[in-house]
Copies of this chain bind each other. A is one copy, B any other.
Amino acid sequence: MGSVRVLRAVNGSSLVWNTKLRSSTVCARAFSAKMSPPSKAVVYEQHGSPDQVVRMVDFPPVEIREKDVCVKMLAAPINPSDINRIEGVYPVKPPVPAVGGYEGVGEVQSVGSAVTGLTPGDWVIPSPPSFGTWQTYIVKEENVWHKINKNVPIEYAATVTVNPLTALRMLEDFVDLNSGDAVVQNGATSIVGQCIIQLAQIRGLHSINVIRDRTEAEEVRENLKKLGADEVYTESQLEVKNVKGFLGDLPEPVLGFNCVGGNSASLVLKFLRQSGTMVTYGGMSKKPIAVSTSSFIFKDLALRGFWLQKWMSLDKAKDCRIMIDYLLGLMREEKLKYEMELVSFDDFPLALEKALGKQRSHPKQVLKF
């Protein structure tokens, strides 16, 4: 973050000039030091609406110290959680100024003299993520980089850490699921939702999926069924007294996932069987979850929450890297797939606009550097 902090002292247009000045100073001080190329980054200096507070900034070359690895970024997605971080809606706000982005994949450009595990040309992802990934070059110590197999498309490597891992953990951390059990979820078209469908199927689980009403609902239903969804219903289809009739031959789901809130969360609760569990991991409708007293007392439902952040600590890094390799393996075998759109980093404003989804929904936006 060293080179970002200089932003704190400068204003708008003078930034590039100032940082360039600092760059010269650094070069003069350490003439023989190995330096990174200059970098371009998407930066926010204050929290707020992303389309208002982010801008593209030029960073000067930085020194590559003996334990450092200089990585040329290949791809990084724009996730909803990236938007939330910029908005500052998380309980712990990241300090500003900061580079946007959280996950991504890059290629090792050069390494410091004490680096033993990585060589130029390797593909790496930040694991656990701890810095902005929306920049062309990143210099960080070797231990934050996880070397991965190069046999997956960059957009999958760039997106494996957040959404697929969320889906994987949520299927593991709450209920002991047995082959033949069913799960129910709303927001089924999200990347997490699509991963849940596929990971559930791999484990022999059935999935009942709720999507919001839309004109292309039939097409969405077909696509999700191709991924392995057993049933797909729109919210309005489920506006009946007893949703259980929609289960067909499937067992009542023991576990549900909610990333919407409001009425859509209530639909998940209605599907759950006695003593079932609903896990909330998002709130796209921005509406609270309303639960009847009888759901708790007589139906014995349990409501929990999931935040990937607790898996992003250093002490869990080893476990996470094993899971990431597992997920990348599934991606390589095309058992785990989802729609994405690669967009040139230079077109960041356009990708951001699509990611914000103000007009209509778009595939996951992945920046290509």
Residues on A facing B (Cβ under 8 Å): 90-91, 261, 279-283, 286, 288-307, 310
Contacts and interface: CB of A to CB of B under 8 A. Distances in A.
A292 to B, nearest CB: 5
Given A296-B306, A300-B307, A302-B302, 5 more contacts: A91-B294, A261-B293, A282-B293, A289-B293, A289-B296
A302 B304 contact: yes
B293 A283 contact: yes
B292 A288 contact: yes
A286 B90 CA distance: 33
Contacts of A300: 305, 307, 310
How many identical chains are in the complex?
2
Contacts of A305: 295-302
A45 B185 CA distance: 43
* 7 residue pairs, one from A and one from B, having the closest CB atoms: A296-B305, A283-B293, A280-B296, A303-B303, A288-B290, A297-B307, A91-B298
A2 to B, nearest CB: 29
Given A288-B290, A290-B288, A281 B297 contact: yes
| Of listed A91, A291, A306, residue having the most chain B CB within 10 A | A291
A294 B300 CA distance: 22
A205 to B, nearest CB: 22
Nearest to A279: B296
A288 to B, nearest CB: 5
A290 B91 CA distance: 20
22 contacts: A90-B298, A91-B294, A279-B296, A283-B292, A283-B297, A286-B293, A288-B292, A289-B290, A289-B292, A289-B296, A291-B303, A295-B305, A296-B304, A296-B305, A296-B306, A298-B305, A298-B307, A302-B302, A302-B304, A302-B305, A303-B303, A303-B304
A251 to B, nearest CB: 20
Contacts of A280: 293, 296-297
Contacts of A290: 288-291
A291 B295 CA distance: 14
A91 B274 CA distance: 12
A234 B305 CA distance: 29
Contact of A293 (B288, B297, B299): B288
Given A91-B298, A298-B91, A302-B304, A291 B293 contact: no
Given A280-B293, A293-B283, A297-B280, A303 B306 contact: no
Contacts of A297: 280-283, 305-307
Contacts of A90: 298
Nearest to A293: B283
A270 to B, nearest CB: 13
Contact of A291 (B281, B288, B306, B310): B288
Nearest to A260: B293
A281 B295 CA distance: 11
Contacts of A298: 90-91, 305, 307
B294 A291 contact: no
A227 B282 CA distance: 42
Nearest to A274: B91
Contacts of A301: 305
Contacts of A279: 296
Nearest to A90: B298
